[in-house]
Chain A
Amino acid sequence: RKEVEQDPGPFNVPEGATVAFNCTYSNSASQSFFWYRQDCRKEPKLLMSVYSSGNEDGRFTAQLNRASQYISLLIRDSKLSDSATYLCVVLKRGGGADGLTFGKGTHLIIQP
């Protein structure tokens, strides 16, 4: 089983719709969780951290379910500029980013 699993998509969604991605991780000792965004032929950039209590940043909501070992990202009122690959990222141990494990990414296409 892969350490971090995501549905690769692509998800084709009309502009203005709500879209949700899920991600599962295998290491129950994982400590921190993130969503990164990667545009085509660009480097990954941090979108948001994911906290146990759930957290929101504008149109984006991230949630963590430790018991089921899954992480979700919800995008409301999607924009054309949201088209990108969304990478689920898990930190295996505390400290710095040396333990970051990336999923394969979920490809999102927002259609006008």
Chain B
Amino acid sequence: AQKITQTQPGMFVQEKEAVTLDCTYDTSDQSYGLFWYKQPSSGEMIFLIYQGSYDEQNATEGRYSLNFQKARKSANLVISASQLGDSAMYFCAMRGNDKIIFGKGTRLHILP
């Protein structure tokens, strides 16, 4: 069975610091994809970054990077130089065999 685990229900980080949001997954699929989404208080889910299971390099999108460690089945999101606008819920998700499942999310608070 597929499973996504986000162990940090909430985090507080000082503005301009880097932050790592944890995500571990479990799947028996050989081919799968990992995503991170941001959900601000407005409710909309915003796609941030994608990592394919066969991608050899870690994905990066601007200030976002995905620390993919396949052997450990982890796909942590790293946000560099955090900004106040980064305060939101962050969801890790996994796609495999047409199914996509989401973790419970981590609420990130950026402090001025």
Task: Judge: A and B partners, yes or no.
Answer: no
Could you list which residues of chain B lie within 8 angstroms of chain A, going by C-beta atoms? none
